[in-house]
């Protein structure tokens, strides 16, 4: 009606928009600069004036990691040595001893030596406690002692270790170690191939493709893909693995962020290996991240039947940013969404309770989505399998036994009492299980349940308030009742615990390969996956084919 008025008011509106954006950016920049200046002056003042000598590098490392810890557990800072370790995890290649180790107090514990690698060749066994590397006592070395076991190829390292209370020495010769993303594949029966995918390193898709093609050439007409315990890894590897089973140009995952450049859609880019071969995927509560992209995407596309228990629920994407002096930041940049549009993130790190703990999304708040064929799936808490299997869920008492090394330590004792089993499968009798319970009691292995921790805290508080003698009788009664309860739980979950002890023992005698050979003949979850694949009517009904 009045065109000149439209022009008159449009221009200031646009200008105001630019002014708002510019001001907002300026304010953000000023606030960041202000806080950096405050921190810089504080850091300098502390290091200049503190009563004792300080370590600026150590203080800064702790400050940065503490700051990032308030965000989410995946946004992390890597110092120079951390960067080396991070690259190892993502390439699968490094020079070292070829063993899984962990620190426990003043010792390094050999958790699992890998067959034919330096630790194995030097005679080290699971349960050995390394107390000295070269001239360095582990008790005196407070940094990451595993770094003392790294170096150039053919480097010789003298170590001292304890085995069943006896001190021994050996020489390690460092060599290249190639950690396989696919540690095992084989045939379960004449027509069923089995592929274990342990993590998503840079060679994951190549290794899965190689296994798939070899199994097909060997007559496999259906596949079980095992993602149980797989913590994830590289996003592009997850997409390429999906691409083995679905056509080119299929959307596998989208990422969404408040920052536009991090909003992306990822599609398959190659010709597939086989879009028709029946596929069953196993997951559990420790299958996370890239594992959930593969299982979630292939579920949404009605390409695979998922079995097991609800996966971990990590729907966040990280990106590595190079910083100065060889350091690095791994920062959460976006959330990812499966083809149906669901985000399977379980914890909301933007909303934490009074103790700073992120809250899980309640099941009543899950949103429903549809797969390509119209099946209902949900967001908010990991990938829920098409077929839930109780055996993939772990009881709290069993979780405690794994955490406190009750099973691991007993397996070490059992191994040295029974050194000549060789290729025989160790079978735990009722007498063995009774021995296991006696071992836990004799070694005072704590289960650290919430009740047990609360009871110990109560006694500590009572001692502080000097009323512990007054409540001592009641405390002892509660403690005895708790021990009876734990004994009852040990008996109730005997089958589950026996199974885990047996698996730990098989690795002692026959390495990881022996465990997978045992799995394809005896594991109940694998058997159920095969049953679904063999029953094509059930398989097609689930997927609405």
Catalytic center residues: 289, 300, 314
Three-state DSSP class for 453? helix
Q: List Cβ neighbours of 393 (8 Å cut-off, separation of 6 or more).
A: 284, 285, 309
Q: Any idea how long the chain is?
A: 545
**CA–CA dist 519, 502 (Å, integer):** 11
Coil vs helix vs strand at 253: strand
> What crossing angle do the helices spanning 468-492 and 494-522 adopt, rounded to 10°?
30
Least Cα distance to 426 among 414, 435, 438, 437 occurs for: 414
CA angle 331, 318, 62 (to 5 degrees): 35
Task: Give whole-number Cα distances, 200 to 140, 180, 196, 344, 460, in Å.
Answer: 36, 10, 11, 18, 45
Hey, what long-range contacts does 418-421 have (CB within 8 A, 24 or more apart)? Answer: 421/509
SS3 for 158? Answer: strand
Instruction: Name the strand (E) or helix (H) holding 528.
Output: helix 524-534
What is the enclosing helix (H) or strand (E) of 337? strand 328-337
Look at the block and give the residue holding tokens 């499966």.
338
Six token digits for residue 465: 């308030």
């Amino acid at each position: 009606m009045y065109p000149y008025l439209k022009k008159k008011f449009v221009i200031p509106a646009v200008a105001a928009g630019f002014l708002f954006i510019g001001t907002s950016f300026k304010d953000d920049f000023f606030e960041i600069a202000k806080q950096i200046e405050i921190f810089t002056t504080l850091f300098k003042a502390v290091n200049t004036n503190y009563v004792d000598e300080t370590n600026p590098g150590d203080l800064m490392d702790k400050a940065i990691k503490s700051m990032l810890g308030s965000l989410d557990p995946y946004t992390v800072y890597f110092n120079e040595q951390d960067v080396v370790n991070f690259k190892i995890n993502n390439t699968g290649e490094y020079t070292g001893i070829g063993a899984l180790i962990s620190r426990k107090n003043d010792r390094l514990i050999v958790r699992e030596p890998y067959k034919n690698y330096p630790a194995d060749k030097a005679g080290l066994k699971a349960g050995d406690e390394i107390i000295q590397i070269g001239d360095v006592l582990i008790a005196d070395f407070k940094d990451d002692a595993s770094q003392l076991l790294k170096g150039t190829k053919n480097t010789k390292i003298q170590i001292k270790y304890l085995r069943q209370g006896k001190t021994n020495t050996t020489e390690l010769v460092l060599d290249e170690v190639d950690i396989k993303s696919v540690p095992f594949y084989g045939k379960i029966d004449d027509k069923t191939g089995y592929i274990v995918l342990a993590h998503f390193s840079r060679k994951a898709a190549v290794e899965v493709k190689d296994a798939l093609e070899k199994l097909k050439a060997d007559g496999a007409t259906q596949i079980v893909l095992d993602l149980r315990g797989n913590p994830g890894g590289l996003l592009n590897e997850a997409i390429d693995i999906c691409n083995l089973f679905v056509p080119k140009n299929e959307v596998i995952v989208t990422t969404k962020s408040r920052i536009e450049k991090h909003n992306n859609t990822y599609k398959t880019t190659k010709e597939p290996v086989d879009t028709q071969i029946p596929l069953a995927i196993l997951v559990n509560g420790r299958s996370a991240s890239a594992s959930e992209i593969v299982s979630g995407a292939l579920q949404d596309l009605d390409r695979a039947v998922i079995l097991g228990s609800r996966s971990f629920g990590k729907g966040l994407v990280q990106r590595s940013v190079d910083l100065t002096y060889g350091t690095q930041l791994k920062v959460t940049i976006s959330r990812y969404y499966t083809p149906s549009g669901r985000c399977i993130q379980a914890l909301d790190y933007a909303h934490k309770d009074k103790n700073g703990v992120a809250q899980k999304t309640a099941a009543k708040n899950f949103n429903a989505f549809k797969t390509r064929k119209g099946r209902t799936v949900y967001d908010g808490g990991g990938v829920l399998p098409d077929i839930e299997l109780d055996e993939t869920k772990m009881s709290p008492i069993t979780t405690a036994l794994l955490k406190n090394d009750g099973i691991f330590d007993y397996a070490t004792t059992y191994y040295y009492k029974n050194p000549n089993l060789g290729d025989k499968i160790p079978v735990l009798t009722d007498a063995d299980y009774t021995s296991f319970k006696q071992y836990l009691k004799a070694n005072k292995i704590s289960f650290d349940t919430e009740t047990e921790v609360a009871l110990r805290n109560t006694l500590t508080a009572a001692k502080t308030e000097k009323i512990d003698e007054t409540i001592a009788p009641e405390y002892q009664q509660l403690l005895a009742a708790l021990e009876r309860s734990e004994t009852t739980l040990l008996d109730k979950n005997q089958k589950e615990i026996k199974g885990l002890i047996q698996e730990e023992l098989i690795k002692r005698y026959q390495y990881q390969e022996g465990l997978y050979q045992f799995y394809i003949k005896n594991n109940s979850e694998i058997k159920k996956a095969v049953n679904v694949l063999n029953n094509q009517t059930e398989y097609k009904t689930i997927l609405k084919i």
